[in-house]
Every structure is written in C-alpha cells, then in structure tokens.
Amino acid sequence: MTAVSPAPPGADRRRLTTLRIAGLVVILALVLAAMLVSVAVGAKHLPLGVVWDAVFHFDGSYDANLVWDQRIPRTLLGALVGAALGGAGALMQAVTRNPLADPVLFGVEAGASVAVVTAISFLGVSSLSGYVWFALAGAAATSVLVYVLGASSRGGATPVRLALAGTVVTAVLTGVITAFTTMHAKTWQVMRFWTIGSLVNRGYDVLWEVLPFIAAGVVLGLAVTGALNALALGDDAGRALGAHAGRTRIVSMLAIVLLCGGATAAAGPIGFVGLAVPHAVRAIAGPDNRWVVPYSMAVAPLLVVGADVVGRVVLPTGELEAGVVTAVIGAPVFIHLVRRKRLAKL
C-alpha cells in the first residue's frame, strides 16, 4: 500500500486563503441582500419589482422618489456606519489586546456625542459639516482619557481596568449630555433621536460629509493589520518581526477616531456593534487581524442594516431606532464575555 504524503504547508495556506475569500464574498452578498430588503421595507412596503424599476428605470413616481430620496441614502449610510463601527471595534480589541474593547464601552462614542452636544448648545452649530469635527475631537480626547485612567494604577492598563475606566467616563459624559439637552430645548430637538443611534431622516448630504473620514479610517485600519499581528506576540517580539509599536498604535488610534467619529457624527452612538461583531468574526476567520478587520467591516453592515429593518417592523406603529436594537443584541454578548473564566482572571 502506497503512503499518501501530507499536503505541503503552502497548499494548506492557499486553501485557507481561498476559503476566507469565499466567505467574504458570501458575506458581501448577504449585505447586498439586506440592503435590498432595507430599500423595500418601511412604512410603505414596496415589492422588489417596484424597487428594481425605481433604481434602474426612474419614472418620477412617488415610489421612485421614496426609493431614491429616503430609502437608498438611509440604507447606504447604515452600511457605511456598520463598516466603520465593526472595523473600529476589531482595531480597538487588537491594539489594546482587550476582548472587551468597544467604542461604546471605552467611551469613544460618548466623547464624540458630548462634543457635538456642546457645539450645538453653546456654539450654535447645526449642520453636520460643522459638528463632524467636534465629533472627531471628542472621540480622540476620550480615547486618550480612558487609556490614561486605565493605565494609571498599579499593574497597568489591563482589560478589566480599561473597561471600568470606559464605563465611568461614559456614565459621566452621558450625564453631561442629559444636562445640556435638558437645559436647551433646541438642543433636545436636534439630539433626541441622534443620541440613541438612528438612521431616520439621513440623506445624501450626511452620507457625503462623513464618507471621506470613514474611508480614510478604513484605509489606515487595513494598513496596520499585519503590524498588529506582530504586536499581539508582545512589543519585543513585534519589534523583532519588524513592527514599530509606537507608530502602529498611533495609526491604529487615528483610524479608530476617524471611524468612530465619522459614524457617530452621522448616526449617533450605535452601541455594541464593535464589541459583538469581531468576536463572531474570529469564530469564522480565525485570529489573524489581516482577516478579522476586513471581515468585521463586512459583517457589521449586515447587523446595522438588519437592525434598522427590524426597528421598522417590530412595532405596530412608529419605528424602533437601530441603536436600541443593536443594544438588545449586544448587551447579552457583553455579559457573556465578562462571565467567561479566562476574562475573570485578568
């Protein structure tokens, strides 16, 4: 009987890469399907044939205008915000080596939100083009603050300390947001849907304003995935493999700020997407950040667009904001992660 020689390691790697690419293609196809459903579903449900005709044979009818003026920009923005939050969560977990890292839990979205509320309340800023810069600045400042607080005690910035610091900062900033919106009626009118994470009444103007920031964040995030793999072995081992620890962290945090700031400016704080999606992705694609980050950017739009669709149909009248739906999904995931034995030892 002739012995069968094992497949060479290179063949195994090529097979794994092929499977990962195929999985990514399938996920993107599912995202497109979810976007099609999003365009069709709403207060007025549209048959898919009507949606198709409106997209490719615009006739100026009410349904065609509904599709182009409301449903399509809302759907595209949901996909863009999802990609930003999924990528930000994956990058944050990688750069901090913290499986609990998330833009909401670390206060990044709250920082962006309080900066926007301040701009609206005291500076009279009312347009997205005006407050997107405040969102970015608030996200950056809060990221630094949470890390400093988490690293200030003996033992350094452990995952649990960072999560606790983020929780405290988020609680304080949420109180500030509540105080500002209570004192200023105009701010409350602007913020009452934005602060819970919503895609309602978002048009092309919002989409085009935040697209450059999120696109830049995506490019920077994807560029450092290889270096993040090296740093996952420790700074010394990472440097031995050619990774520059300081530069990698700076670029990663810049990408996170751009992604979180742009997404929060557009749709408000939509929670737990950046926490739940990377963990689900690792079960599919493995721990390699070169795949975890792009997979997270592909899977998260499916969650956000799906949550927006669910929010439109779950209530007999009115809509449930996407941020509420993602919180219902993400909170149990967070509890599960905290209760895992390996996290309890950190």
Residues 6+ apart with CB under 8 A from 24: 294, 295, 298
Model confidence at 155, pLDDT cuts 50, 70, 90, reads low
Average of per-residue pLDDT values in the chain: 82
pLDDT (0 to 100) of residue 341:
43
Q: CA 240, CA 245: separation in Å to the nearest integer?
A: 11
- Give the other-Cβ count within 10 Å of 104's Cβ: 28
pLDDT (0 to 100) of residue 192:
66
How confident is the model over 234-258, as a mean pLDDT? Answer: 79
Which of 112-121, 144-153, 157-166 bottoms out in mean pLDDT, i.e. has the lowest?
A: 157-166
pLDDT (0 to 100) of residue 259:
93
Per-residue pLDDT tens digits for 213-230: 999 999 999 999 988 888
Please identify which residue in the block is written with the tokens 């795949």.
291
pLDDT (0 to 100) of residue 156:
62
28 pLDDT more than 90: yes
Per-residue pLDDT tens digits for 296-344: 999 999 999 999 998 888 877 777 888 888 888 777 766 766 666 444 4
Per-residue pLDDT tens digits for 103-122: 777 788 888 888 888 888 78
Q: CA 112, CA 95: separation in Å to the nearest integer?
A: 20
- Give the other-Cβ count within 10 Å of 275's Cβ: 26
pLDDT (0 to 100) of residue 217:
95
Q: How many helices (H) and strands (E) does the chain have?
A: 16, 0
346 pLDDT more than 50: no
Residue 242, helix vs strand vs coil = coil
pLDDT (0 to 100) of residue 77:
94
Contact by Cβ (8 Å): 80, 300: no
Give me the residue spans of the domains in the chain. Answer: 81-311+319-337
In this structure, which amino acid lies at residue 204? Y
How confident is the model over 73-96, as a mean pLDDT? Answer: 92
DSSP classification of residue 69: I
Nearest to 295 by CA among 276, 305, 282: 282
Topology classification of domain 81-311+319-337: ABC transporter involved in vitamin B12 uptake, BtuC (1.10.3470)
pLDDT (0 to 100) of residue 128:
67
pLDDT (0 to 100) of residue 54:
85
Cβ burial of 345 (10 Å; 0-12, 13-18, 19+) is: exposed
User: Which range has highest mean pLDDT (4-13, 35-44, 239-248)?
Assistant: 35-44
